[in-house]
Chain A
Amino acid sequence: MSDPSREQAQQRAERIHAFQQELAQLQAERVASLTPEQQVAISLYHQRLLSHFAATLDIDADQRSRQLSLGMRIASLFGSLALAAGVFFLFYQFWGLFNEAVQVAILLGSALGSLLLTFWIQARDRSGYYAKLAALLSFVCFVLNLSMLGQIFNITPSDQALLPWGALALLLAYQCRQRLLLAAGILCLGLFVAIRCNAWGGFYWLSVGQRPENFLPVALLLLAIPQLFEQSRYSGFASLYRGMALLFLFVPLLLLSYWGASSYLPWSSGTIEVVYQSLSFPLAGLVIWQGIRRGWAELVNIGLLFAVIFLYAKLFDWWWELLPKYLFFLLLGLLSLLLLALLQRWRRSALEGAQ
């Protein structure tokens, strides 16, 4: 038996349960049947496999465990966010009572200590919940560490801090297979790249948000990462890269479509807005098409979401002033129905194609 990750083992367990239910149904409806020897052999093999996974990887072997597991995930997320906020406020509450050397020692000690604690817990916690909680705490301690050093010594605020923060978030995300930290890491490094793009023009780093085009190279980089680096061992990581890439793509496009003055392009605001509005719809279509072709659900969902937002924003632009409010909303409702019918037809044709 190969050594699967916890996520892979969980998926296998779910396939086994689905298989057992479907086999029971097929036998009840007398469509197919297995000999008693085959049934016993399969059942024993599955039991051994599930026991092995449960013992070594702490997977949810049955429905009840799965339900409890969801509750544990939620508790772990809230617990880690609350603990992180607790550490943050705890330091602020007492830091003024210490001299600078003690402050630095506490900050550095908490960052190093929480990282060591994360790895120590991970070696002992098969479920991974406590390790994920500790990982988020470790990230917060490090963010607090560098930002408080800046305050204590009046260091000029800079985007450079995003680089180590992003690096540690990625390291912890891959170590603990935690998507929340991956998102934090992507956000830090994505912001850093966008700020550097902005700084090449000689502009102040905090004005990065006033030129949404700074974020477009980040979208391209994020789309390339799961293509260049294999992510199959990390469940959901590739989807998260692509999902965040689309946010870095579509949010700036939406802003530029209605705030042309924020563009680098030397044209009038009106022209820039028309250009970006014309780009947005085909791009959303392209993303949906690629999502369907490659079987990437996140591309289809985010592409559809933004296609609808672009459409409604344009309708608002055209009709909000022109039409009475009831007519405007009725038209929006009708268009939504049309869109629904179109998508349903598309789905049917896709199903027929698959058959």
Chain B
Amino acid sequence: MSLGTRFDSGGTLVSEESPTREAVSGGLVALAFASFILGVLSLFQYLPVDTTVAGFTVSTLLGGGLTLVGAGTVTLGLASYAGRFETSPGHTGGIASAVFIGLLWFAVGGLVAAQTLGLSTLWPVVALFSGALGAGVALVAREDLGVTLSAGLFVLLSGLVVVTGVVGPGWRWDPNGFSIVATGTVGVPVIALFAGLVGAWVAARVYGGFGAQGRQTGAYVLVGTNAAGMLALLVAVVSFIVVRGWAPMTEGVRYGLYWGPVTWFNPPVLDTWVIVEGPILWFYWPFVMEGYGLNIPIDGVLPAIAGTFWLVVGAIVFAVPLGVGAAVFLTEYAEQGRFTFLVEISTNGLWSTPSIVYGLFGLAFLVPRLGNTPSLLSGQLVLGFMLLPLVVITSRESLKSVPDEYRDASAALGVSRWETIKSVVLPAAMPGVVTGVILGVGRIAGETAPILLVTTSSPFSADVAGVIQGGFSFVGSFPFVTVPTLDLVQSSNALPYQLFAIIGAGLGENLDFAWGTALVLLLVVMSFYAVGIASRVYFRRKLNA
């Protein structure tokens, strides 16, 4: 934002501060958040609703907290309406808030009418009526009265329902037409989640003193919670996999340092063996150094790691030259026109094409032509097709960001276009290109669907696919050397497929192996992302400095 100053708090513009209102409503926001978080914990059964904490059941705590929040906000709203506090309420609660509150009351009215009162055909009428009532109060009454009454009463009602045990640990609800049965262990936390958020929102509006400032505070509370939720989701997923997968992944790791012969040779003159000794580090990590088989003590995922490695290398070799070339042509050679429009549409189209469609295409087009067997080569090409649009898009962005002065200066020296691109433009754009490639590789390394169709054949493999065959040696006949050959037309395992195959084979006894595989896969993919993001931050800082 270019405007340097910001009105950081309501206090600078809104006439007077009222410490009582801010203290009480701030406390209510905290209490509502506490209910929300306790709701999350009890939903996932870390603290089931019937456990006792500090002498109360979790259910009672949630209900009591919500009742307090609801009663508190309603009281504050009434006090503000009676003029006890200095606030600046608008003459209406606002349309967006009214719609939101109307939806809440619509749900409450509908549930009560259909499930508690048992109205089978009439419930939509009741639901619409209560929804309209909630929205109407928020819309018509002055903001401090309307919003706190309609939303605060919702929180109060939710709290009372839970604290009185109407929806308690023993509650049971079999919704008509759905194949689930809800019980108190889920119902109470879900109510707490919703009511807690609504309570935090209303209390934050009171905290901001209603009006424009109040709406901003209320909205920021919700948007901020959403962002925090995304962070929490990432941390939860990653740490969950680390916790479950760490033990199976590191099972049987041994390492040591010993003194032993490093190398030995037989010099022609001495006619005796010279042995050089030294410290040797010995390291054995079975999970990533072994395959999966009967005579292997600790099953590992080495074949899958090797397969993923070859797939990624092949995709890069295929896609990066094509993608960077296309980006150079589009930014440096082509005039904007129908051709570039077509290329743009197809690049973005390829970007959004589902991975399973790539797999189908590979199955129909590549596999019959490349040895008629699932093969690494087909997988490399298909993943290359998927990587291509990512490389084109990111390389183009970074080529565009190279300033025109660079090109002009080079052209003024009489350097030809290709020389300019080769020695000026491409080096300047290289960081962006590399970052884009790394991030793209992170994405395709985790792809399962295409390789499932074109590369893999057996779910558990004991041996690494022998891609490099033969070695480098001198021979007596022409051309006097043999070089290792690449055999890419053979099926192979890969990390994401390994995980899929375990799930498909049944998780029972292989559950630990699955968690370990998930952790290795996550580490491989996440390290690509971490390196890509870090290098982007680094180069951006360097550019700005």
Are A and B part of the same complex? no
